[in-house]
């Protein structure tokens, strides 16, 4: 174990990271892809796509996501979680697909990182609270130890005149503190590899003319580099550091733990902000207590567990790469069973809530030549996430937002950014809504896709109009708030679990999910009313009695999938891949 790996080193200058650029760095033999997202966050990632190992430093910094140039895999700002795989446009990538990241701290014009940090980053004492100026970094073909030895010989003066006597203080962790007639500088040696380094100087309380100082030290440090390199040339070149990379992330390689039954609440968040997002809709900005929040994909929802013991599903409105918080919108339902009433009245700013990780059961394709988003009322929330994703990628789309009035339009700042892509339809009667939808869906063409979220009747109407106007079922994607079908649970049947080698009897009055959970078969679930798709299982044999609103008609007809929380069996026996 090399204890140097535990030190923090500067690995880039702040001005190495303009927007939409990927900087190529290295520390102790590990190549780094360093990029600043549009929100200012600095990402330090292992410089290879975990798909085929191509350098991410030749990838595309698209501001919120980094796209690998090889097969177009996209990774989110902050988490490095994969958000999109073009070869599987209709599917949401598994949350476990995540690039390897390193820590990153930006301070005093430098970006600092560490391979295996022991403890948090602390600014070197001499820099703390001081005005500083980071010098032009000077790469040196020499071992870090040799470069450090020579760093102590650097001589300079405060005003750029002839170099003065310099006092030297060597510091642990790869830098020296140099002082000459009142002026101070720190000279860091960034270890690139066994035989390569970078000299990074920082002036402390520099005099006014920065450009002159930068030029003065650039020529001084370049001369020092020449001395170091001629010295290094006399020594044998050390062998490059061998870095062993795990082929895949440990979480990916290991068998996942059996999922616990029921709705999950593995994350703790605080309500950082609660505001009226429109008439009757409360917005909540949720921030993690300590850890990085898991990657958000457009269309994802979370379970929120409320102080009153209930849990409800809410779509995230987050745009791509917005990974420092989750935002949800909650409409106060006049006939609230307690959920929205609790969120509106009981939950306050500063409260801690338990939530699940996001589930991407309503994934967005990014290969459509035209995307039509249709939102009714609070159905706008997943559409905002989708619209921002399409906008960020310059993909063609329209968002049709049906609401009662101007005052009912939620999340105005996001809407305002959508410009001409947003078309609002205010205060329309059901008939007028039908006309508007027929116009919006008039021109289906190959590779057009439609996404709908809204109240049940509007969703039904939109699906019907789309079907009538030639939209094939596979181009129509939808998410219901809830399942308003009356569930008929009068049947009884047998469920055979192919993987578990278990046959169970499902009596009238109980769901398949109930019976699975009673028998110790861990099955994830969320809404438990046939709307969200979390408890989806694969059918191997038998004819399901579908009662959900998640599957499309053709998916239902194929008899290959079932939502175990509400659907049952028409055949005496159902064989599931569980």
Q: Which residues contact another protein (rule: CB under 8 A)? A: 12-13, 15-16, 18-21, 23-26, 38, 58, 60-63, 67, 69, 136-137, 139, 211, 214-215, 218, 222, 394
Return the H-helix or E-strand segment holding 140.
strand 138-140
Cα 399 to Cα 272, 390, 453: the distances in Å are: 28, 11, 11
Of 106 and 545, which CB lies nearer to another protein in the complex structure?
106
Considering the complex, what minimum distance in angstroms separates the CB of residue 309 from another protein? 46
Q: How far is the CB of 214 from another protein (least distance, A)?
A: 6
CA dihedral for 142, 145, 148, 152, sign (positive or negative): negative
Q: Which is nearer to another protein, 9 or 23 (CB)?
A: 23
Q: Which is nearer to another protein, 194 or 428 (CB)?
A: 194
Q: Identify the CA nearest to 511 among candidates 534, 541, 488, 533.
A: 488
Residue 197 to residues 7, 138, 189, 266, Cα–Cα distance (Å): 15, 9, 6, 43
The pair of three-digit structure tokens given for residue 214, joined into one six-digit string: 């930068």
Structure tokens given for 540: 């191997």
Q: Which of 69, 88, 65, 89 is nearest to 77 (CA)?
A: 65
Closest contact distance (angstroms) between CB of 424 and another protein is 28
> Cβ 40 to another protein, closest distance in Å?
11
Is the distance from CB of 105 to CB of 117 less than 8 angstroms?
Answer: no
Angle at 476 between CA 335 and CA 316, to 5 degrees: 50
36 versus 344: smaller Cβ distance to another protein = 36
What is the closest distance, in whole angstroms, from the C-beta atom of residue 566 to another protein in the complex? 45
Distance of closest approach, residue 57 Cβ to another protein, in angstroms:
8
We find the least distance from the C-beta atom of residue 237 to another protein, in angstroms, to be: 13
Residue 139 or 520 having the CB closest to another protein? 139
Residue 524, token pair as written in the block: 């994830």
Element (H, E) at 149: helix 144-151
What is the three-class DSSP state of 498?
coil
Cα Rg, the chain, nearest whole Å: 29
Q: Which is nearer to another protein, 135 or 342 (CB)?
A: 135
Max Cα–Cα distance, the chain, nearest Å:
95
Please choose, from the candidates 182, 223, 172, the residue with its C-alpha nearest in 3D space to the C-alpha of residue 203: 182
Please give the Cα distance from 45 to 41 (Å, whole number): 13
- Please, which residue, 60 or 515, has the CB nearer to another protein? 60
Write down the least CB distance from residue 191 to another protein, Å.
14
The dihedral built from the CA positions of residue 240, 246, 247 and 249, taken in this order, carries a sign that is: negative
Cβ of residue 16: shortest distance to another protein, in angstroms? 5
- In three-state secondary structure terms, 373 is strand
Residue in the block written with tokens 């909540």: 284
20 vs 71, beta carbon nearer another protein: 20
C-alpha triplet 326, 328, 329: angle, nearest 5°: 160
Q: For residue 415, give every residue at least 6 positions away whose Cβ sits within 8 Å of its Cβ, in sequence order, or none.
A: 384, 401, 409, 422
In three-state secondary structure terms, 133 is strand
Q: How far is the CB of 21 from another protein (least distance, A)?
A: 6
Minimal distance, residue 199 CB to another protein, in Å? 12
Minimum distance of another protein from residue 183's CB (angstroms): 20
Query: Which CB, 215 or 438, lies closer to another protein?
Result: 215
């Amino acid at each position: 174990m090399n204890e140097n790996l535990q030190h923090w080193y500067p690995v880039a200058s702040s001005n190495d990271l303009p927007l939409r650029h990927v900087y190529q760095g290295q520390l102790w033999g590990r190549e780094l892809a360093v990029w600043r997202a549009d929100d200012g966050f600095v990402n330090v990632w292992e410089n290879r796509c975990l798909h085929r190992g191509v350098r991410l430093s030749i990838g595309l910094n698209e501001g919120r996501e980094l796209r690998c140039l090889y097969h177009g895999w996209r990774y989110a700002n902050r988490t490095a979680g994969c958000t999109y795989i073009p070869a599987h446009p209709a599917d949401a990538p598994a949350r476990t697909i995540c690039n390897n990241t390193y820590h990153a701290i930006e301070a005093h014009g430098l970006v600092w990182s560490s391979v295996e940090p022991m403890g948090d980053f602390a600014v070197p004492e001499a820099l703390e609270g001081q005005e500083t100026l980071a010098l032009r970094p000077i790469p040196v073909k020499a071992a870090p130890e040799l470069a450090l030895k020579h760093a102590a010989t650097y001589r300079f003066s405060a005003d750029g005149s002839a170099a003065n006597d310099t006092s030297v203080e060597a510091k642990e962790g790869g830098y020296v503190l140099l002082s000459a007639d009142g002026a101070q500088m720190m000279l860091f040696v960034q270890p690139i590899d066994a035989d390569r380094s970078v000299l990074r100087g920082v002036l402390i309380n520099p005099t006014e003319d920065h450009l002159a100082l930068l030029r003065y030290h650039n020529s001084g440090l370049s001369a020092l580099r020449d001395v170091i390199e001629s010295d290094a040339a006399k020594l044998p070149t050390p062998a490059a550091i061998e870095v062993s990379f795990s082929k895949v992330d440990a979480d990916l390689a290991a068998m996942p733990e059996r999922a616990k039954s029921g709705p999950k609440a593995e994350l703790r968040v605080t309500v950082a902000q609660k505001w009226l997002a429109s008439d009757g809709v409360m917005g909540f900005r949720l921030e993690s207590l300590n850890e990085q929040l898991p990657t958000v994909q457009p269309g994802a929802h979370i379970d929120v567990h409320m102080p009153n013991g209930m849990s409800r599903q809410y779509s995230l409105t987050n745009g791509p790469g917005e990974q420092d918080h989750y935002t949800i919108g909650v409409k106060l339902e006049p006939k609230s069973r307690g959920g929205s009433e609790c969120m509106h009245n009981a939950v306050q700013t500063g409260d801690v809530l338990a939530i699940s990780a996001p589930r991407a059961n309503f994934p967005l394709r990014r290969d459509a030549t035209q995307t039509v988003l249709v939102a009714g009322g609070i159905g706008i929330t997943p559409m905002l996430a989708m619209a921002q994703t399409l906008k960020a990628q310059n993909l063609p789309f329209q968002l049709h937002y049906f609401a009662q009035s101007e005052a009912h339009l939620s999340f105005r700042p996001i809407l305002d950014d959508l410009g001409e892509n947003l078309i609002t339809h205010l205060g329309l009667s059901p008939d007028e809504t039908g006309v508007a939808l027929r116009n919006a869906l008039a021109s289906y063409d190959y590779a057009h896709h439609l996404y709908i979220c809204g109240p049940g009747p509007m969703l039904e109407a939109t699906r019907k109009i789309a079907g009538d106007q030639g939209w094939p079922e596979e181009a129509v994607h939808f998410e219901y708030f809830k399942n308003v079908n009356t569930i008929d649970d009068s049947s009884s049947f047998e469920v055979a679990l192919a993987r578990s080698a278990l046959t169970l009897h499902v009596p009238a009055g109980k769901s398949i999910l109930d019976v699975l959970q009673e028998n110790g078969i861990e099955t994830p679930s969320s809404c438990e009313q046939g709307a969200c798709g979390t408890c989806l299982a694969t059918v191997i044999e038998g004819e399901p009695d579908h009662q959900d609103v998640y599957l499309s008609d053709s998916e239902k007809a194929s008899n290959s999938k079932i939502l175990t929380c509400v659907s049952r069996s028409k055949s005496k026996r159902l064989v599931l891949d569980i």
